[in-house]
Amino acid sequence: MRPESLYPLFAPMTALPGVGPRLAPLVEKITGPHVVDMLWHLPYGLVDRRFMPKVAEAPAGRIATLRVQVDQHLPSTSSRRPYRVICSDDSGTLTLVFFHAKGDWLDRLLPVGSERIVSGMVENFNDGPQMTHPDHVVPSAQLAEVMTIEPVYPLTAGLPGKIVVKAAKAALERTPQLPEWIDPTFLQRQAWPSWRTALQCVHAPTGEADLSPVSPARQRLAYDEMLANQLALGLVRASLRKLAGRSIVGDGRLRRKIVDSLPFQLTGAQQRSLVEIERDMVAPSRMLRLLQGDVGSGKTVVALLAMAAAVECGCQAALMAPTEILARQHLATLQGAAETAGLRLALLTGRDKGKARGKILEALAAGEIDILIGTHALFQDGVVFRDLALAVIDEQHRFGVHQRLDLAAKGQAIDMLVMTATPIPRTLMLTAYGDMDVSRLDEKPPGRRPIDTRVLPLARLDEVVEGVRRAIGAGAKVYWICPLVEESEKIDLAAAAERHAELTTLLGSRVGLVHGKMKGAEKDAAMAAFAADGLDLLVATTVIEVGVNVPEATVMVIEHAERFGLAQLHQLRGRIGRSDRASTCLLLYGSPLSENAKARLNILRDSEDGFQIAEEDLRLRGAGELLGTRQSGLPEFRLADLTQHGDLLATARNDARLILETDPDLQKPRGQALRTLLYLFERDAVVKTLRSG
């Protein structure tokens, strides 16, 4: 249970003064639902309000705090004209300007004849200084409250900065002193402040140095976050390994049959990975292994062979894919090899209901299915295997640590093989998969021709369509990708549908459409038609992104390529270049394109190496954005920026390891403090895996 000391921080945001029901949704949108999220919302700038010139000497374009006499109110004469309040000091006159303001409110704020402190941006209008909507207006007795250095926070439309400043201050006041969880010697060596002091520093910057990501206070908070991350991963790993595993020793007869039936030789990397996987399966402890391989590196057959090893022992295996389309495709590609070896496959997805589902579940419980393929429906309640020994999770980047824990909570000591094509730079790797052993497919199947990638403006669409027409004439199959972003989903879907209609007019009826909002059966039909040569061109939103395998497809057009992440583009492009025929990828961008965006697309033009692309992308965009792409499934850090704090991540990892070696259940005093840290960063689920204490 969450320690009581943290209760004030996990109160709803509305517990903070000034955050009422009207503003709460706006505040929550940029911070999060709880008071603690306000603490993590760090200022990016500051305003020095200590500058207090005479009115006549206040320079335009600078924030100033002025002491003035209120002389006269000039109410607005029409709704478009502002309300003006004329003020002065002994040096000159200042006009305060208010749009859409209520007169009685201004009368109370600025009574004629009173003295007021006003602070805000000074402008020059008709040769006289004026201030539009001053940030502060207070009686002169409250001068000290205004004459400060004020933090500037990221905001959203409709949310006044003042509200956030006030809320952050109040959140800090509610912040308890917590027991230190960082090793004291390390803390001293780094010269970092305590947690609470660090928060106070970052929210009350006194100069640019305090805003730097490498200021001691920011480094400390970043370290806290990374330590929580690494500790959580370590605990997940420990909990997954707590259940004694079992030794899976097959006799190799099914695997031999499958290998013999393949139309190709396994690559060296595939063989090496298989040895590593089989070694884990034979060992009595549980396997928790990540199989990392660029798109097209041949992960599926590795998975099949691992699953066959489980079946050789009379056990069952499961293969989970992130989408319905992929699950079906896995079934289709595995069927041939599996049948030769006499493996019984079945498919279970969210679409199976009622009797059909009942039948599958019955067969599964009776052990009449060897390998069950499906979506996350596989691991829902009610799905009972007779004897599940191995779970393979494909395209892991759509699943998080949470799902890994859910799986473990099934109580079965199953071996887990997780497959991902996300080419994550090594530093980031630690943050997402620090709990897993890794096998790498760092070698592509032979005979692949490089993909000819070109970067073109959308304005050359006509030429592109002509090129596509010629390619189809020569027997090519073409993917045409349209972007789809959540925020503008409707418009994007309409654009994809429109493009489909347009291309049908230009190229004929063998043009299909597939997008995420279509019914499952319709999607399958379109994909199947494309794979089976019923269609020449498939207009698609990114549903085809992961894993789809149609080797005959050799051309891909991506519209508005600048709207995609590089990793995503690389994944998409991986759908072509899957045969010995030459492939072409056209990245169409909307103009104007910034230099940086152009540089990013050029990386893709110049490289097909997922790791190199990821490293370059990280360099150009910074980890924040790279990790920020929601679908990456990588943890999003609020305080740590891996381009700035990457070296601390390795320290956090070692620290977490040492902690778990010496105090695996976090019982000692530092362990107790670390439990609080885990709760603070909302890793409640992993704390539950610990023995209480």
Residue closer to ligand ADP by CB (options 235, 305) is 305
Residue closer to ligand ADP by CB (options 419, 455) is 419
Residue 180 in tokens: 């230190």
Which residues, 6 or more positions from 260, have their beta carbon under 8 angstroms from its beta carbon?
A: none
- Say whether the peptide bond before residue 592 is cis (omega within 30 degrees of 0): yes
Q: At what angle do helices 216-242 and 642-662 cross, to 10 degrees?
A: 50
The CA distance from 579 to 554, in Å, is 8
How far apart are CB 523 and ligand ADP at their closest, in Å? 19
Which residues, 6 or more positions from 346, have their beta carbon under 8 angstroms from its beta carbon?
A: 360, 363, 364, 369, 371, 372, 373
Which residues, 6 or more positions from 499, have their beta carbon under 8 angstroms from its beta carbon?
A: 480, 482, 539, 559
Rule CB under 6 A: say whether 438 interacts with ligand ADP: no
Residue closer to ligand ADP by CB (options 143, 266) is 266
Radius of gyration over every alpha carbon of the chain, rounded to an integer in angstroms: 30
How far apart are CB 518 and ligand ADP at their closest, in Å? 23
Stretch touching ligand ADP by CB under 6 A, among 79-87, 358-366, 397-405, 545-553: 545-553
Which residues, 6 or more positions from 275, have their beta carbon under 8 angstroms from its beta carbon?
A: none
Residues that bind Mg ion (CB under 5 A): 547
Rule CB under 6 A: say whether 296 interacts with ligand ADP: yes
CB atoms within 10 A of CB 343: 21
How far apart are CB 450 and Mg ion at their closest, in Å? 20
Residue 199 in tokens: 């928060």
The one-character DSSP state at 14 is G
Residue 101 touches which member of ligand ADP, Mg ion, none, C-beta under 5-8 Å by kind: none
- In the region spanning residues 569 to 598, those forming contacts with ligand ADP, defined by CB under 6 A, are 578
Pairing of strands 388-393, 537-540: unpaired
When binding is defined by CB under 6 A, the residue of 175, 300, 316, 439 that contacts ligand ADP is: 300
- In the region spanning residues 39 to 98, those forming contacts with ligand ADP, defined by CB under 6 A, are none
Residue 86 in tokens: 């004329």
Residue closer to ligand ADP by CB (options 87, 546) is 546
How far apart are CB 5 and ligand ADP at their closest, in Å? 47
Residue 578 touches which member of ligand ADP, Mg ion, none, C-beta under 5-8 Å by kind: ligand ADP
Residue closer to ligand ADP by CB (options 215, 297) is 297
Residue 549 touches which member of Mg ion, ligand ADP, none, C-beta under 5-8 Å by kind: ligand ADP
When binding is defined by CB under 6 A, the residue of 134, 193, 234, 293 that contacts ligand ADP is: 293
The CA distance from 33 to 28, in Å, is 5
Rule CB under 6 A: say whether 629 interacts with ligand ADP: no
How far apart are CB 299 and ligand ADP at their closest, in Å? 4
Give yes or no for a contact between 508 and 484, defined as CB atoms under 8 angstroms apart: no
Residue 551 touches which member of Mg ion, ligand ADP, none, C-beta under 5-8 Å by kind: ligand ADP
Residue closer to ligand ADP by CB (options 107, 533) is 533
Residue 295 touches which member of Mg ion, ligand ADP, none, C-beta under 5-8 Å by kind: ligand ADP
- In the region spanning residues 258 to 287, those forming contacts with ligand ADP, defined by CB under 6 A, are 264-267, 270
Whole-number Cα distances in Å, 59 to 54, 84, 129, 144, 454: 10, 20, 8, 22, 51
When binding is defined by CB under 6 A, the residue of 234, 298, 322, 425 that contacts ligand ADP is: 298
Rule CB under 6 A: say whether 440 interacts with ligand ADP: no
Residue 19 in tokens: 């955050």
The CA distance from 564 to 42, in Å, is 27
Stretch touching ligand ADP by CB under 6 A, among 20-28, 60-68, 281-289, 293-301: 293-301
With CB atoms as reference, the residue minimizing the distance to Mg ion is: 547
Give yes or no for a contact between 348 and 357, defined as CB atoms under 8 angstroms apart: yes
Stretch touching ligand ADP by CB under 6 A, among 4-12, 80-88, 248-256, 298-306: 298-306
Rule CB under 6 A: say whether 644 interacts with ligand ADP: no
Residue closer to Mg ion by CB (options 483, 547) is 547
Residue closer to ligand ADP by CB (options 303, 430) is 303
How far apart are CB 418 and ligand ADP at their closest, in Å? 13
Whole-number Cα distances in Å, 440 to 396, 419, 444, 579: 14, 10, 11, 22
Residue closer to ligand ADP by CB (options 405, 421) is 421
Determine the 3-state secondary structure of 481 from DSSP: strand
Rule CB under 6 A: say whether 664 interacts with ligand ADP: no
When binding is defined by CB under 6 A, the residue of 34, 136, 299, 376 that contacts ligand ADP is: 299
Residue 296 touches which member of ligand ADP, Mg ion, none, C-beta under 5-8 Å by kind: ligand ADP
For residue 474, report the phi and psi dihedrals to the nearest 5 degrees.
-90, 10
How far apart are CB 495 and Mg ion at their closest, in Å? 28
The CA distance from 247 to 172, in Å, is 53
Which residues, 6 or more positions from 511, have their beta carbon under 8 angstroms from its beta carbon?
A: 500, 503, 504, 535, 536, 537, 538, 539
How far apart are CB 567 and ligand ADP at their closest, in Å? 14
CB atoms within 10 A of CB 533: 11
Residue closer to ligand ADP by CB (options 270, 396) is 270
When binding is defined by CB under 6 A, the residue of 85, 301, 338, 389 that contacts ligand ADP is: 301
Rule CB under 6 A: say whether 397 interacts with ligand ADP: no
Give yes or no for a contact between 295 and 571, defined as CB atoms under 8 angstroms apart: yes
The one-character DSSP state at 34 is B
Residue closer to ligand ADP by CB (options 96, 548) is 548
The CA distance from 32 to 38, in Å, is 7
The CA distance from 357 to 25, in Å, is 41
Residue closer to ligand ADP by CB (options 130, 420) is 420
Residue closer to ligand ADP by CB (options 360, 421) is 421
**DSSP assignment of 392-413, as one string?**
EESSGGGS-HHHHHHHHHT---
Q: Which parts of this chain interact with ligand ADP (CB under 6 A)?
A: 264-267, 270, 293, 295-301, 421, 445, 547, 549, 551, 578
